[in-house]
């Protein structure tokens, strides 16, 4: 399906340079509020700008990581020695019949509201998940009531320099995972059936009330830390292992929901990691079950640990740690002709002309 979004503003090399900032603290950009700074950071405002930013960073040999709303991410205290590209300004959303075409940075709350406004019911299962469409498409975000995956008809993504369109089995949706791997999600086409919007709204209110009752929504967190092992609830296993309320510095295993680690103020990534290890060890000892992380991590130098990060080589040695303000040149900005322009897949919706 090719509904297409409105034409994007043209990205010029000088515009790209203006977009890029140095030494940007990532903690405020995550819901857990911990972690250090990224050496390079950009918030592109169009898919074309995102593609060009990523290409430029890669061409300069920088490790690259993609950030949505940062609601499932633990950033190292040392930050990230590479470039973070945040999708939050990629927020165009077009309803079309039973379809919603959304850029990666559209918030799930806005997506649900748009669906309801157009008579579509089903997205309310995502109510209260504080992520973006891109993050949710990668993670197959969801709850016991349903997940994003079954509603995704098509994903337009960057695979290196190439714009690709994936659909059906190629998306590989399963519990909190997809086959998107290191591809960067640009745009998602969702198909949501028409339905009883009043009933959908009532379900949404119930889901939100349930969250407030069972989750520590008033404190910074990154949602569930571990996935549920087959046949088990991670929260229950952690609770039975005596970890509820366990504290290390400013980080704590939530007394309300054992699968949440909350930041009670001034928590560090090291403290969160300590709790993760301790919880894992206690659950393994008591139950003989290894807990897998649902949380994604962004480590200072190992971009591969953030699912959507790519390591294209070592960062350049020259001056990439200096603090010189928000209008720094892009790495290698003098070499404008070195900007590679990818060939978009013909007919793909909403990407560069
Ligand atoms: C209070 C709270 C409650 C939560 N409840 C739930 C819940 O019920 N169910 C649930 O599934 N999750 C839940 N979460 C976790 C989180 O909201 C989801 O995983 C969400 O989908 C993450 O989206 P994001 O945009 O914040 O992604 P981020 O945290 O920014 O990134 C997560 C991962 O996705 C990658 N990524 C982000 N955008 C893109 C993109 N455009 N292309 C490629 N990769 C990308 C990142 O590199 C990273 O690896 C909760 C979190 C909080 C704080």
Query: How high is the mean pLDDT of the chain?
Result: 85
CA of residue 67 to ligand 1 center, whole Å: 9
CA of residue 134 to ligand 1 center, whole Å: 8
What is the arithmetic mean of pLDDT over 269-283?
98
Residues 146, 56 within the same domain: no
The answer to whether residue 17 sits within a structural domain is: yes
Residues 285, 306 within the same domain: no
The answer to whether residue 33 sits within a structural domain is: yes
* CATH number, residue 68: 3.30.43.10
Residues 75, 127 within the same domain: no
The structural domain count of the chain equals 3
The answer to whether residue 4 sits within a structural domain is: no
Per-residue model confidence (pLDDT) at position 9: 54
Taking 70 as the threshold, does the pLDDT of residue 317 lie above it?
no
Two tokens at 97?
């019949």
Considering just the CA atoms, what is the radius of gyration of the chain in Å? 20
The closest-lying atom of ligand 1 relative to the alpha carbon of residue 148 is: 11
Query: Cβ neighbours of residue 119 under 8 Å, at least 6 residues apart?
Result: 194, 195, 197
Per-residue model confidence (pLDDT) at position 331: 43
Residues 176, 82 within the same domain: no
Taking 70 as the threshold, does the pLDDT of residue 326 lie above it?
no
The answer to whether residue 62 sits within a structural domain is: yes
**Residue 273 domain boundaries:** 226-292
- Please state, as a whole number, how many other Cβ atoms lie within 10 Å of the Cβ of residue 86: 24
Per-residue model confidence (pLDDT) at position 7: 53
Residues 190, 97 within the same domain: yes
Among 173, 110, 120, CA closest to 147: 173
d(CA 123, CA 143): 11
Taking 80 as the threshold, does the pLDDT of residue 190 lie above it?
yes
For residues 300 and 76, the answer to whether their CB atoms sit within 8 Å is yes
Residues 149, 246 within the same domain: no
Last residue of a domain, one of 198, 218, 242: 198
Ligand 1 pocket mutation pick from 53, 68, 177 by most atoms within 8 angstroms of CB:
68
* CATH number, residue 244: 3.90.78.10
Q: How far is CA 187 from CA 86, 152, 153, 245, in A?
A: 14, 11, 11, 40
The closest-lying atom of ligand 1 relative to the alpha carbon of residue 134 is: 41
Residues 50, 114 within the same domain: no
Taking 50 as the threshold, does the pLDDT of residue 346 lie above it?
no
Taking 70 as the threshold, does the pLDDT of residue 117 lie above it?
yes
Q: Confidence band (pLDDT; 50, 70, 90) for 13?
A: confident
Supply the pTM of this predicted model.
Answer: 0.86
Lowest-pLDDT range of 32-46, 176-190, 283-297, 335-349: 335-349
* CATH number, residue 152: 3.30.465.10
CA of residue 132 to ligand 1 center, whole Å: 7
Query: Cβ neighbours of residue 39 under 8 Å, at least 6 residues apart?
Result: 22, 23, 62, 79, 80, 81, 82, 83, 315, 320, 321
């Amino acid at each position: 399906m090719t509904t297409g979004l409105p034409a994007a503003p043209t990205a010029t090399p000088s515009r790209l340079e203006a977009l890029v900032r140095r030494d940007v603290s990532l903690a405020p950009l995550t819901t857990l509020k911990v972690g250090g700074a990224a050496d390079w950071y950009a918030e592109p405002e169009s898919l074309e700008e995102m593609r060009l930013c990523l290409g430029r960073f890669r061409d300069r040999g920088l490790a690259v990581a993609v950030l949505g709303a940062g609601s499932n991410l633990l950033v190292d205290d040392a930050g990230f020695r590479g470039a973070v590209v945040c999708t939050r300004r990629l927020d165009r959303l077009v309803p079309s019949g039973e379809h919603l075409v959304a850029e990666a940075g559209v918030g799930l709350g806005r997506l649900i509201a748009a669906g309801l406004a157009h008579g579509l019911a089903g997205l309310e299962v995502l109510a209260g998940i504080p992520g973006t469409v891109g993050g949710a498409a990668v993670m197959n975000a969801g709850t016991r009531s349903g997940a994003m995956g079954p509603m995704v008809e098509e994903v337009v993504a960057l695979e290196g320099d190439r714009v690709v369109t994936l659909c059906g089995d190629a998306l590989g949706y399963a519990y909190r995972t997809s086959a998107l791997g290191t591809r960067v999600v640009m745009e998602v086409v969702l198909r949501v059936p028409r339905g009883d919007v009043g009933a959908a709204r009532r379900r949404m209110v119930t889901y939100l009330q349930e969250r407030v009752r069972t989750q520590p929504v008033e404190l910074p967190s990154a949602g569930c830390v571990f996935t549920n092992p087959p046949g088990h609830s991670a929260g229950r296993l952690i609770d039975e292992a005596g970890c509820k309320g366990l504290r290390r510095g400013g980080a704590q295993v939530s007394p309300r929901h054992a699968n949440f680690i909350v930041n009670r103020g001034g928590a560090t990534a090291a403290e969160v990691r300590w709790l993760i290890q301790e919880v894992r060890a206690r659950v393994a000892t008591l139950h003989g079950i290894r807990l897998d992380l649902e949380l994604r991590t962004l480590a200072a130098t190992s971009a591969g640990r953030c699912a959507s990060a790519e390591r294209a080589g070592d960062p350049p040695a020259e001056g990439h740690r200096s603090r010189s303000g928000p209008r720094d040149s892009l790495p290698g900005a003098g070499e404008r002709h070195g900007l590679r322009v990818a060939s978009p897949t013909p007919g793909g919706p909403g990407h560069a002309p």
